[in-house]
């Protein structure tokens, strides 16, 4: 209410003259602080039985979860979290459509990610619609998305397809605490631009705490930077049992440096059938503080590589690879 003005006791403003002009209004109240709406959380359960049985007709709550990750991805927008209960998420048994395309900014999280996907599996793969023919993936993450806590296997039997577990053609993707395995032909984690004209780069990923194992032990690769990966951080991963462990065809992720914000290393890159680290371009790679088959790791030029399990093969003949135990042409490249 407005203040009272007058010459009586109890008035808000006492006008003793009786003729003064006084304009008084109530002070405007400060608006209530804006509280942002909480980001939505959806739940997925492959099980069709029990009190929390999954159905894509459900609203996606914990008590009434969706059944397929595929459908959940159509409901999730940036900053939403999709939590997936333990189970096998494939086409035959669960009706998934591959590749599972994760929208930009969405967090796709196994409900218990700690065991690195031991109870929650994504199994399948198909042609990536936005990429050249012959490219299949199990999961295709959007820019700024997170994939955490799954076992991911592309088991597509089509011999005409290059089979990738995860295809990182966007940027700023976080892969955390997954097991990427069983990509029977090609690559577990494939990092490349989108193939456009001009291409949109794939960069600034965080690949941490994963097991990238047993992908195409004959000639495939665990983690490959094919045409992207600049600014990415690779740390605390186990990369073993693949044909090639890590492959660089272009400058890509930081495997271990002393740079601020860089990778802490602590990767185990060992026991890969052909080579643990294959470098095909004359680039600089930071790879300090990692575990190899040999200590320090052996680095061989192309002419000396027998592809029988060597630590490092510089197929370009001109790469600079800093493992912290080798002469460094540029000591400041990976930090002091």
pLDDT tens across 208-249, in order? 999 999 998 778 899 999 999 999 999 999 999 999 999 999
> Cβ–Cβ contacts within 10 Å for residue 327, how many?
7
Phi and psi at residue 275, in whole multiples of 5°? -150, 145
The single-letter DSSP state of residue 217 is T
Quote the number of domains for the chain.
1
255 class by beta-carbon count within 10 Å (0-12 exposed, 13-18 middle, 19+ buried): buried
pLDDT in tens, 53-86: 999 999 999 999 999 999 999 999 999 999 999 9
307 in a structural domain: no
- Helix, strand, or coil (residue 303): helix
Q: How far is CA 289 from CA 102, 142, 237, 297, 331, in A?
A: 33, 30, 12, 11, 15
Instruction: Report whether pLDDT(32) > 80.
Output: no
119 in a structural domain: yes
pLDDT in tens, 114-148: 778 889 999 999 999 888 888 999 999 999 999 99
| pTM of the predicted model as reported, rounded to 2 decimal places | 0.88
pLDDT band at 196; cut points 50, 70, 90: confident
User: Would strands 120-123 and 238-240 be described as parallel, antiparallel, or unpaired?
Assistant: unpaired
27 in a structural domain: no
289 close to 256: Cβ distance less than 8 angstroms: yes
Instruction: Report whether pLDDT(329) > 60.
Output: no
Structural domain of 100: 40-253
267 in a structural domain: no
User: Would strands 221-227 and 238-240 be described as parallel, antiparallel, or unpaired?
Assistant: unpaired
- Angstrom distance (rounded) from CA 168 to CA 152: 14
CATH assignment of the domain containing 120: 2.160.20.10
Structure tokens that stand for 181 in this block? 């395995």
20 in a structural domain: no
321 in a structural domain: no
286 class by beta-carbon count within 10 Å (0-12 exposed, 13-18 middle, 19+ buried): buried
212 in a structural domain: yes
Tokens 């997170």 belong to residue? 146
- Angstrom distance (rounded) from CA 48 to CA 124: 20
188 close to 151: Cβ distance less than 8 angstroms: no
102 in a structural domain: yes
């Amino acid at each position: 209410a407005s203040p009272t003005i007058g010459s009586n006791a109890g008035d808000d403003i006492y006008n003793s003259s009786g003729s003064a002009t006084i304009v008084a209004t109530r002070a405007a109240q400060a608006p209530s602080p804006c509280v942002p709406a909480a980001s939505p959380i959806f739940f997925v359960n492959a099980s069709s039985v029990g009190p929390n049985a999954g159905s894509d007709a459900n609203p996606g709550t914990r008590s009434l979860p969706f059944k397929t990750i595929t459908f959940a991805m159509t409901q999730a927008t940036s900053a939403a979290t999709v939590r997936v209960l333990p189970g096998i998420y494939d086409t035959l048994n669960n009706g998934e459509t591959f590749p599972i395309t994760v929208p930009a900014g969405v967090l796709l999280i196994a409900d218990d990610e700690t065991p690195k996907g031991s109870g929650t599996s994504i199994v399948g793969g198909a042609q990536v619609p936005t990429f050249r023919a012959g490219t299949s993936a199990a999961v295709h993450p959007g820019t700024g998305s997170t994939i955490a806590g799954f076992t991911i296997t592309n088991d597509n039997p089509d011999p005409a397809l290059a089979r990738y577990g995860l295809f990182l053609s966007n940027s700023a993707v976080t892969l955390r605490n997954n097991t990427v395995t069983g990509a029977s032909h090609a690559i577990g984690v494939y990092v490349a631009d989108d193939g456009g004209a001009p291409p949109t780069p794939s960069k600034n990923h965080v690949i941490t705490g994963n097991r990238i194992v047993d992908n195409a032990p004959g000639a495939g690769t665990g983690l490959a930077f094919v045409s992207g990966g600049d600014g990415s951080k690779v740390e605390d991963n186990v990369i073993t049992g693949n044909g090639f462990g890590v492959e660089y065809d272009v400058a890509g992720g930081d495997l271990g440096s002393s740079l601020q914000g860089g990778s802490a290393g602590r990767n185990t890159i060992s026991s890969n059938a052909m080579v643990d680290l294959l470098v095909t371009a004359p680039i600089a790679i930071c790879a300090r503080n990692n575990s190899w088959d040999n200590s320090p790791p052996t680095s061989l030029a192309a002419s000396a590589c027998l592809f029988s399990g060597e630590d490092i093969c510089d197929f370009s003949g001109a790469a600079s690879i800093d493992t912290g135990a080798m002469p460094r042409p540029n000591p400041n490249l990976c930090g002091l």
